Structure 1
Amino acid sequence: MTTPPKKDVFVLGDVHGHYDEFTIMLQAAELADSKLNWKGGNSIFVQMGDLIDRGPQSEKTDLLADKLQKQASEAGGEFVRLIGNHELEIIMGNFFISEMSKETAQKYQKKLIEGIYSGKYKAAYHQRGLLFTHAGACDKLLNILKMQLGSLTEAKVASLINNIFTNCVKHSFFKHPIFNISISRGGRDKYGGIFWEDLEDLYLSFPRSPVRQVVGHTMVDEVVVNPDKNIIATDIGLHRSIQYLKIHEKNIEVYTVS
């Protein structure tokens, strides 16, 4: 019996409502066809959170993601949608951070919460020995999680973070360290949690991450694969440049769409 080939994994940083650039990337990676239907077969696509806000077409971008997520699942693939700080603030009822009207944000809040319970939206994901979160897990947070886990693996960390996140949303309790906001981002903590950590703070929090991480949130000029820190940064500002990761087996390539 032949072993089926492993699925390719595609990763895109923050989108922020930039619908046109989002569709260009999906078509360039051959994940969507000319009519913007799923074309990726059993491929995995990971969007790193902050799909909405700032850009001109948040609602249209979100609806496309809904459609493609459903079609990908039906084709045996995955369209992974991570929660970013912009989604989180809407979940928490802090609608002022969003460019959406209050009425639209309230409807989106309900949709997000229902999607978290159903598994449509995740706080963390793991694949190919990589831990995916919006802003990254600093050394302090990983040590806290390690006390519960005993040892750290990308799969165990992702599972625990998702359990913590879902329970916190269920009880409207947002005091766990995964929700910390770093001082550099206007918060009270030296290091932030997985939604509000600054990339430089994440780098400074440890000599080298004990788990290999992929993050968005902090804008960089180009996708940065940093083996010294064991961290890959993907938020290139989609309105400025279109770059994405493709992971085949263990080979990670950065693609730029001209």
Structure 2
Amino acid sequence: MLFSKFLIYTLLLTNSLFITTALAHNNDEKSTKYDDGPYLFYNNNHIQQFDVINSKLEITNYAGPLAIPEEFKATDKDQYSDVKKFAAISDIHGQFAIFKKLLINNGVINDALNWQYGTGHLIITGDIFDRGDTVTEALWLVFKLEQQAAIAGGHVHYLLGNHEYLVLRNDQRYLHPKYKHTVSFFNDNLTEQYSVQSVLGRWLRSKSTIIKLNDFIFLHGGIHEDFLNLNMTLESANQAFRDSISKSKKELKANPLWATLHGKTGPIWYRGYFRDEQLKDEAVAGVLRKLQASKVIVGHTSMPSIEMRFDGKVIAIDSSIKRGKEGELLLWENNQFFRATLTGEKKPL
């Protein structure tokens, strides 16, 4: 049978994950050649594979060992208790090499890019997309690890950040030139490239934006009182965010709920922990009390390294990976937080 509950296809995820991104730089910018892919699309009883090779589109039928579900169900759980260890990272922004190195050198995956973190949890608090030129590689690695972790009793949580929502509504301002070339094959429309007919698009639409592990809240930007005033559960907030995917700015502004969620004080855009000089420890503590949480762990605002703020109530984990030079992973094990470096060194936080 070509089609069953799970389609089994070959997806080679090794150090040469998919098609290695290659840029042939010449003096003449027009002669730059891009490789990208694969992009997989559901087509009746098979899946089509779209690859950009030497800046030209090639379409084939896709076959390999990874399970590709017909549907990606939204997670039925946004809160997890009794988590013994986790690793968290944010704002990868197309820097696959740093992402991969951090995971390998800190024991989350092995050299073959396979899960080795057991029952641990890996959390990505948004912004795999934009800026860098290896977004596709990072997405497919997370896709694979999510399945492998589940088999091992662990979890991968890919939370959507503002740049995921931007891309999914066709905002191309922050795309690397390689991806501007790729989207030209999809009528210059990212909503086609990541549509519900695409494997990645369908998968992304199943993701959460805010989760809670033990008594720690994870999300991209932060929690402001405006969000609390909505009186939403994490589950209802995540579904509201999913419902807003691919909506235009005009549509978002016309819907009061979406306008709040996507506004400057919304969970994916809020920067108050870093830029609001009037924000005090007690205000942050008050927000956490309402959420029955001890800490909030966020990305979005780039720092030189992972750091705690507001007397440890906020952990900032955007470690400037987007620059393509350095980066850190937050580890929590034996009830202790560590900054994990590219070399595998663990520094108590």
TM-score normalised by length of structure 1: 0.80
Structure-1 residue corresponding to 2:274: 200
- CA gap 1:41/1:202 in 2 versus in 1, 3 angstroms: farther
2:152 to 75, 97, 101: 75
Structure-1 residue corresponding to 2:98: 21
Moved more, 233-242 or 100-109: 100-109
- Supply the AA of the counterpart residue of 1:169: I
- Aligned ranges 1:148-187 → 2 under 5 Å: 148=231, 156=233, 158-169=234-245, 173-175=251-253, 176=258, 177-181=260-264
In our comparison, the structure showing a higher alpha carbon Rg is 2
- Supply the AA of the counterpart residue of 1:88: Y
3-state SS of paired residue (2:284): coil
Question: What's the CA shift for 1:28?
Answer: 1.4
Deviations 1:77-101 (A, max 9, x none): 1111011111101222323443323
Native 8 Å contact 1:208 1:229 kept in 2: no
Point out 4+ residue stretches in structure 1 off by more than 6 angstroms: none
Native 8 Å contact 2:168 2:246 kept in 1: no
Native 8 Å contact 2:102 2:341 kept in 1: no
Q: Identity rate of aligned residues, in percent?
A: 22
1:46 to 123, 126, 137: 123
- CA gap 1:237/1:19 in 2 versus in 1, 3 angstroms: same
Question: What's the CA shift for 1:31?
Answer: 1.1
- Aligned ranges 1:5-154 → 2 under 5 Å: 6-99=83-176, 100-101=179-180, 102=183, 103=186, 105=190, 106-110=192-196, 111=198, 114-117=202-205, 119=206, 121-142=207-228, 144-145=229-230, 148=231
- Number of aligned residues: 232
- CA gap 1:223/1:256 in 2 versus in 1, 3 angstroms: same
- CA gap 1:230/1:204 in 2 versus in 1, 3 angstroms: farther
Structure-2 separation of matches of 1:78 and 1:140: 30
Q: CA RMSD in A?
A: 2.4
Q: Any stretches of 5+ residues in structure 2 without a counterpart?
A: 1-81, 289-294, 344-349
Structure-2 separation of matches of 1:217 and 1:97: 14
Structure-2 separation of matches of 1:70 and 1:256: 26
Native 8 Å contact 1:140 1:205 kept in 2: no
- CA gap 1:96/1:221 in 2 versus in 1, 3 angstroms: closer
TM-score normalised by length of structure 2: 0.60
Structure-1 residue corresponding to 2:326: 241
Structure-2 separation of matches of 1:16 and 1:55: 6
Question: What's the CA shift for 1:178?
Answer: 1.4
Using CA pairs under 8 Å that are at least 6 residues apart, name the structure with larger relative contact order, 1 or 2.
1
- CA gap 1:171/1:17 in 2 versus in 1, 3 angstroms: closer
Deviations 1:215-250 (A, max 9, x none): 101101111112437211100112232211111253
Structure-2 separation of matches of 1:248 and 1:160: 30
- CA gap 1:46/1:202 in 2 versus in 1, 3 angstroms: farther
Greater share of helix:
1
- Supply the AA of the counterpart residue of 2:269: W
3-state SS of paired residue (2:328): strand
Question: What's the CA shift for 1:165?
Answer: 1.2
